[in-house]
Structure 1
Amino acid sequence: MTGTLEGTILVGDEFEAVEGRLHVENGQIAEIEEIETDSSDIILPAFVNAHTHIGDSTAKEAGGGLSLDELVTPPDGLKHRLLRAASREEKVEAMRRSVRFMESTGTAAFLDFREGGVEGVEAIRDALAGRNIDPVIFGRETAAAMHAADGFGASGARDSEFGDLREAAREANKPFAIHTGERDPHDITPAMDLDPAFLVHMVHPREQHLARLDEEETPVVVCPRSNLVTNVGVPPIRELADRTNVALGTDNVMLNSPSMFREMEFAAKLADVSAEEVLRMATTHGAKLADKEYGVVEEGRPAKLLVLDGDSDNLCDAKDLVRAVVRRAGEADVTDVLL
């Protein structure tokens, strides 16, 4: 893509509001020119959704009132029964529609824990055919699924020791990530002992786990809407962010829409963190986990961008643009997505 965008540009890691023109050449941000402009658009980095399960897109809002174990524990949790009951074609089409929604709401990449072994990995790749979003697929259950995917996504240290699969991922030079601390703190130490690329959830860390995060700086992905829905509590986002990079994920499509707007708003209103920090969780920090060079608006970076209408009925008269983007922007405010 080559062209120009005008408006207020949220530049760099601090999202400095710069009025001007952004020049794109061959998919790269070539220049950010500070000039007066009549445009009310807000230009910011596209999102990175750092934890999803889009495979269960056929089961939206199933299982209301069930516990986390009843919903998702393999092999007989409701999610897994519904996945077995759905045809491959149904699952691929449902995933394709979730991907399309993520693209339309400004998500440039997503990191997905994909069930179903090698066949599950192949199905999500079919769902992504012709789309512009960047996937990072974590195969599950077997080493073969890891080799077919971009990495391995472990269910949790309470389910298995995962030592052999961790070593297989290391030998394949692929990331290993793991759910932990979702129900209670008891699986956090064995999860951290596996030296994962990142940890998912960390709702119940104890002081020794926080101290270890401070020392080892293992990134954490939090999914606060999901944790609330499954009634396991909410992650201590402030305490985690004080010690390591924290990214945001929307978790199961069964439980939540894969909307980073909704996840940002919830996190910002839940936790004692600044709007700038929440926006970094949704962009820069997720991009680092995905090993992407975008997630920030700077010259020389890929032009993975989201454009919002700053004069929409929802965003007009905002006194703090970053706070408005994080706490109130939504799909209706999107005017363009560059992926």
Structure 2
Amino acid sequence: MMKRNRSCVLALCVAAALGTASLGGCSVGEALHEGVTAVAESASKAARFDVSGTIEQTTMLDNDVLTVVAESLEYRNDVAYLKLSLTNNTEGTIDVTACTGGYDANYVNDCMLSEGYFSCEIPAGETAEDEVDFSLQELQLYGIQKISVLGLGLRVVDEEYDELFKDMVEVKTLLYGSEGVDSSTFAGSIDSPALAEKLEYEFKAASTTAPDLAETDIEIPAAFLFINKDGDIAVMAELRNNTEETLRVQAGNITINGLAAYEGESWSGGTVAAGKRGVMSLRLSSVVEYGDLLFDSSKAAEDADSTEGKEGVDLSNVKEIGMTISTKDANGNTISDPVDVAFAF
């Protein structure tokens, strides 16, 4: 039986709108809202997601290890459901996973996603059936208004945890090749007053003060400070892989307003396939909370003008986020060492 977990970036940012997660809200002070683009009261109605992107039964993978057939793609309650049948072609039990820490390479059209998790244990020679789901509201936030291609990054291991298969497989919908499928971006969608009103968020664009990122093979065209109606704050940056190989992108060594919030090269990471884009999300309260033991409180005390810095950073007055970005290839080999990136708000 497959196990599904709706673990997505959007759940961290607009959970109240989606109802998929419960977040501890924080009070957003006036300083944060200076220069923030607020939800427009007279925003036009947000465009409806095009649900005509259905599929015919399609074999996504067929080898000595696994056969994967996409049976149908249906849209219900603002969620796209991809029904799969998976057949174990080996003589032993296998585990099939997608969108896990070991391999997160799902995508829709030209955009990598953190949705579509599943984990499935299949005995030898047997077939399992289940559904993988994708939130239409998250797709819209990322600039996707219709599904042309849906890809899954699959990893298969045997009972000894030896890896038998790891790669991306995809299914094309009836909208494949239609006009304007990949014309939008995250940066072009997040500043839509209609979408902001629908998902109840505010945002503030950042200016990137990073050096040339050419050595990382990653481009960061835009970043935003993203605030939902409960005051939960995240930094969201659009990444683009302009190379011909899949890259693993890691973010680490995070600072908030110049204070060390997390030390280490790998706070978060994600796969960006060749020629595709993705959205990196850092929920700031989680960074501070998880990195509490690594938070340099002595530095905070030295740098802060008040005793407030001794206990942590003031998330209601975020002026600058710093981090390092590094990249590896699909096999974990280093492409670039950490490069400093800073976003000023």
Instruction: Identify the TM-score tier after normalising by the shorter chain.
Output: under 0.3
The normalised TM-score by structure 1 is 0.26
The normalised TM-score by structure 2 is 0.26
RCO (CA 8 Å, sep 6+): is it higher in 1 or 2? 1
Task: Indicate the structure with greater helix content.
Answer: 1
